[in-house]
Structures are given as structure tokens and as C-alpha cells.
Amino acid sequence: MTTVSDETSKDGPAAPESDGADQASQGETDAAAATPTDPEAPDPELSDSDGPDLDASAADDTAAAESEAAETGHATVESSAVADTDEPPTDEDHTDSTVGAAESDAVDDAATDDEPVSLDTEAPEAPDTEAVVAPPASAATQLDPADTTWWKSAIFYQIYPRSFSDLNGDGVGDLAGVIDKLGYLELLGIDAIWLSPIMRSPMADHGYDVSDPRDIDPLFGDIALFDELITEAHDRDIRVTMDLVPNHTSDQHEWFVEALAAERGSAARARYIFRDGRGDDGEEPPNNWHSVFGGPAWTRVPDPDGSPGQWYLHIFAAEQPDLNWENPEVFADLEKTLRFWLDRGVDGFRIDVAHGMAKPADLPDMDVESAGLLQNSDDDPRFNNYAVHDIHRKIRTVLDDYPGAANVGEIWVDDNERFAEYLRPDELHLGFNFRLAKATFDPTSIRDAIENSLESVLSVDGTPTWTLSNHDVDREVTRYGRLSPVGSDTDPDGASDTDSPTVDVDLGILRARAMLLVELALPGTVFIYNGAELGLPNADLPDDALQDPVWERSGHTERGRDACRVPLPWEGFEPPYGFSSNPDTWLPIPDSWTRFTVEAQLEDVGSTLSLYRQAIEMRYQRPEFDGDTVEWYGAPEGCLAFRRSVGHLVCALNTSDVPVGLPPGEVLLTSYPLIDGQLAPNSAAWLV
């Protein structure tokens, strides 16, 4: 899918190679940049020496665009975004937020006539403590059934419900809080929200242990409140997708309770993976599999008469027994779940552990030495077995009955050929690709991640996906700000060493802002984790606050994922920063997060939140973002640059510690102000 030049030189940057006639014409508006098909044109470059200044016409065009946008009421690139400065970036320049009035018009424009955007909008009534099951919303539909390809360029915003907004005052986020903040999400400009699990659950793994997949957990609200969320989100042209957890259930699911009370070989036990043990009296587990969370993946249970009995499989926590997908009852029940939510107007699902579910019949031993917590390899027998594709085909058949619905699978598969198999036309619409989130802040690592991600979907004409963080991955600010290497620096899947490395948060924010422009410049679908738009780092939590099952199952050697799941700061100067009326939030919010609040950043034109808003709006409105492929420019050491194949947007990234020259063109947006017309260290720019 990409045309790649392997020649990178500090002395003479190479022009992007052309892969055919579709690159032959660029239009008059691109005349300032070198064309791949014109050997006489100057090479677009990032230069170690003084680069070309922005020409006067480009500056005039930018000013004219700002004036026009101001007259029409649209948010624009603020002048500070591309302004020159004689000083290199400092910590204070890009992190201290000063509330001003410069964006008040944009805030007003994003509000509806009847409901202005406000941090203090009237809260929906808190749900009763007992869940109320509303009748099926069979009349509801997806937001736009006529649009069956919206997901190919969408921006999803992941909401971790426990940590987004709490309106009933129990210290845990809820659906009423999500409804209350829909105006904020509309202002941000996203297409869809992805809700991490909100189904009924004992919360052993914070909702990923589902006891009733067709009900809302009272912690978050009830079915009626969920229906209200769907309606109000659709009224704002925001789609709603939700987490689906088909690999396992809770140990409190009625099926598993029935299985524990049943005899060996019973129909009830056949819904799960029960096996006799090995060794004398079956005292050893059926194989050597480990749990992803640490410890064995098998738990022995007594027979109904109280004698030692069989073992059941749980790839995750013991409270999450794996289902047996060879049993037709399992899919029949999942189909009921799919249709239950789709009939209420849900616009799709994120499928948890989409490369799991199917297990090899002989359950062979695994390579324990190469397996780590919260990760797997391609040859891991616990995951990525071919029978899983039949399951996805059945799921797709159901979704095809609901035009406008789409699903995305969590797929931890490195091999591109195997990854692409999940995206065949009759399987998943999208597959999470985590390569960009795992890349270090280095041009080689970033370029490899981009090339590999694009190539991974080429054979099936699939859509690439991009994300920098989620609820299982350390926040990008923390990853990019680490000053000493640890295991999670190259394997940022959530686990981290007990002895935390030094993190320069301000440096991390600079780099995260730059990577946002890289991410949004790429073709495909983008996923933003709640709080990334505020520049949040991981929180430094005390041991007694940790709740992730990884902490207990690892014997307190791995701290788990709680640090990236801390509640969001909305307003004020001390915890809980408007997240809740209860200061005792489910995870403590750091005292130092005053500068990260939405209130502090909303009208600060130089804030990370403002950068997100500007970049997202440009991505939708500018034709330069067209094209499914990218072309690479030669660039000096520490830099990279690429161009969209059709619209010809150029994205340049400088990871070095010195300013560098920019390719020719009009600057649309920078992650940090230019220095004497050059791209600042740890920053990125968009040009046309």
C-alpha cells in the first residue's frame, strides 16, 4: 500500500517515489512542493541547515483563511500554532494553561440552540440502585443506516466509564455522566464513542467479567438511561459503540453457576472448557498454560459430592472462565446479545480478545519462558487459532442485518498475513493495530510501525487503524517522557516495573502533541483514549490504591494498568476536579492535575485540548487528507516526512534536539510554534 524510498540522507533528501499514474497530477495548489514525477523540481526536504522560509503567499493564504473562518464561525488554526519564536521550547511554554476568551465563539458554535456546552450542564437524574430493564427498543436504528462506510475514516473516542464522569456521587463514573458530557464530545469533534464494558458484572476485572450481557450494571445506570444516551448521542451525530466480551463470562454468570453444580460431562459444563487433571488423582492442571494476568490458567473445583473434581480454563482471572466455542449454544446466546443491543440503536461493537475464543482441541502446552504478562506471541496456542474466523463470520452475518453498524476487533497478532485474515470482507470491519502505540519516539520505529500497519491490510483492501493509548496501555505522555528504559518502554502493554523510571511529563507532552499530528495525518480510522486530549500522564498511585487483578495475581510484582485509568479532571483546583461530588473516587486523582483540567484548557489556544480540536476539524474539512496511501520523503537524521497520496497533505516530524527546515508549502498546523521558520525539536507540522 505504500511506496517507500529506502534512501535517507542528511545531504540530499529524496523526493517521494511515484507508484503510477494516480500521482501524475497534483493541481496548481501544490505547485510549491516538489512532485514525484518532475525530475527537474526541487526535492521537498527537511534540512539540517537553514530550511526554506515560509513564502509570503503562504503566510497571506493562512491569514486569509483565518479571517474567512472567523467570519463563518468555524474554529481555525490559531496564529500561535504557527508563529515563529526565537526561543527553544520550554516546559512552561506548552503545559501551563491560561484561560482566555479566544475560543469562546467556537465553544458557542458547537452547542445546540437548546443546550449550550457547559461544564455545569444540568445532570440527568441519577438511576435507582436497582437496575430497571426497559422493554426492547426495537424501533431504534443505527445513526445512519444509509452510511455503511463511516467507520473507514472515523475518529472513535474511548470512554472508560468508571473514570469519565460521575453524576450520582458514588465516586465511580456512570452513564448519566456520559450524557452530561456529550456537549464536550461534540465540541471535540469525534464521530463515535466506544464504551468500555457497562454490562452487569461483579467487577472482578472492572466489567470484563460479564454476568449478564443483556443488562446494564447498576453501578453505571440502567437500560432506560442507556437508551437515553443512544438517543441524545445520535441527536448530536455521535455514534455509540460498546465493548463485547465473548471469550469468557463472569464466574457469577448463571451458566457457570449451573456448571459448577453439574456433573462431569453434563450439558451445563459443555458450555465452558472443563478438563480432568493430569497426574495422580488429577491433581495437576490439564496443561501448563498461564493466565495473561499471571499465575495458572486453570482452577480446580470440587465435584457436586465435594470430592476433588475437574479443572476449568480461564485465560484471564479465575473469575473469568473461558467459554467453549465448539458448543452451538454459545453463539446462539451471543446472537441474542448482539441483536438486543443493535435493536436499541447501538452502532457497533469493540470485540474484546477477538483473536481468542477458539482453542486447539488437544490443548498443547505453551512456551512458558517466552510468555509475559498481558501479552502473547503469534505461536501462542492460547490465541489466534484458525477456528476463530468461523466465529467472526457468524458475528458479521448478524451485523449485516443492521446497515450502519460496524465492529472492531482487539487483535494482538504480529504477522501481517495472519492479521489480514481477520479483515476479510465477511469478518471484522476493523482490527486494532497497536504498532504505533508500541513504537518508541524515534523516526525508524515510527516509520516501521506506519509501513507495517498499512501493509497489514493491503491484501484484503482493509482499513488501517491507529491508536496511541487505551485502557491497557501506558499513556503516551508517560511513554514518550521516560528518561530511562524499562520493559514497558518497548512493551507498553500495561505492565511496568515496580521501580518506576524518571518521567519528564513536559517532554512527554511535547512528543505526544507531535505524534497526534502524525496519527491524524494517516489514512484510516483513529482511536483516542479519554484524557489523551488533555495531555494526561499516567498517575503515580500508592500501592494500597491499586485494583487491577494483575497486581494481586503477580504477587505485587507488576503494578498493572490502574495508572492509565485514573478519573478525568474537569474543572477546579483540587481533586476530584469536577469528576464527582465525592472526593473518594474509585482511584485517587493526583493533586498536581490542576493544569490538565478541561476548564483550564478549553479557551487556551495553546493547550493540548485546543490542538486536538483544531487538528480533528482540519482532518474533516480539508481535501488534502484524501488518499489511502502515503509517500515518504527523504529526511535528515532524527526526522521523517510523508505525504498523503491523493490530497498531498505533508506531515513532517522532528524527533531531534535541534530545529530543522521544513519542506516547501503552506503550514496548516504545528504541534509547537516554529523557531525562525524551522520545525522545533520534538514537534510536527502539517503543510500543503
Nearest CA-CA partner of 457 in 406, 420, 413: 420
Is residue 342 within 8 Å of residue 239, measured between CB atoms?
no
How wide is the angle at C-alpha 337 spanned by C-alphas 335 and 341, nearest 5°? 120
Question: What positions carry a catalytic annotation?
Answer: 352, 410
Is residue 184 within 8 Å of residue 587, measured between CB atoms?
no
Is residue 682 within 8 Å of residue 481, measured between CB atoms?
no
Return the residue matching grid coordinates 521558520: 677
H-helix or E-strand spanning residue 435: helix 435-438
Q: Can you tell me the distance from the alpha carbon of 518 to that of 684, in angstroms, rounded to the nearest whole number?
A: 7
Q: Can you tell me the distance from the alpha carbon of 440 to that of 515, in angstroms, rounded to the nearest whole number?
A: 11
3-state helix, strand, coil in the chain (%, to 5): 30, 15, 55
Is residue 629 within 8 Å of residue 23, measured between CB atoms?
no
Is residue 456 within 8 Å of residue 551, measured between CB atoms?
no
3-state secondary structure 533-572: HHCCCCCCCCHHHCCCHHHHHCCCCCCCCHHHCCCCCCCC
Residue 669, beta-bridge partner list: 686
Q: How far is CA 213 from CA 37, 174, 196, 320, 357, in A?
A: 56, 17, 13, 14, 16
Q: Can you tell me the distance from the alpha carbon of 260 to that of 304, in angstroms, rounded to the nearest whole number?
A: 8
In the chain, DSSP finds a helix count (H) and a strand count (E) of 19, 18
H-helix or E-strand spanning residue 242: strand 239-244
Q: Can you tell me the distance from the alpha carbon of 565 to that of 631, in angstroms, rounded to the nearest whole number?
A: 36
Is residue 211 within 8 Å of residue 200, measured between CB atoms?
yes
Using CA atoms in the order 544, 548, 553, 558, what is the torsion angle rounded to 10 degrees?
Answer: -70
Q: What are phi and psi of 642, to 5 degrees?
A: -145, 165
What is the chain's Cα-based Rg? 25
Nearest CA-CA partner of 630 in 616, 617, 648: 648
How far, in whole angstroms, is CA 549 from its chain's centroid?
21
Is residue 383 within 8 Å of residue 375, measured between CB atoms?
no
Is residue 635 within 8 Å of residue 46, measured between CB atoms?
yes
How far, in whole angstroms, is CA 300 from its chain's centroid?
36
Q: Tally Cβ neighbours within 10 Å of residue 568.
A: 26
How far, in whole angstroms, is CA 688 from its chain's centroid?
27
Nearest CA-CA partner of 107 in 604, 523, 511: 604
Return the residue matching grid coordinates 532524527: 638
DSSP state of 159: E
Is residue 167 within 8 Å of residue 181, measured between CB atoms?
no
Q: Tally Cβ neighbours within 10 Å of residue 249.
A: 26
DSSP state of 112: -
H-helix or E-strand spanning residue 443: helix 443-458
DSSP state of 107: H
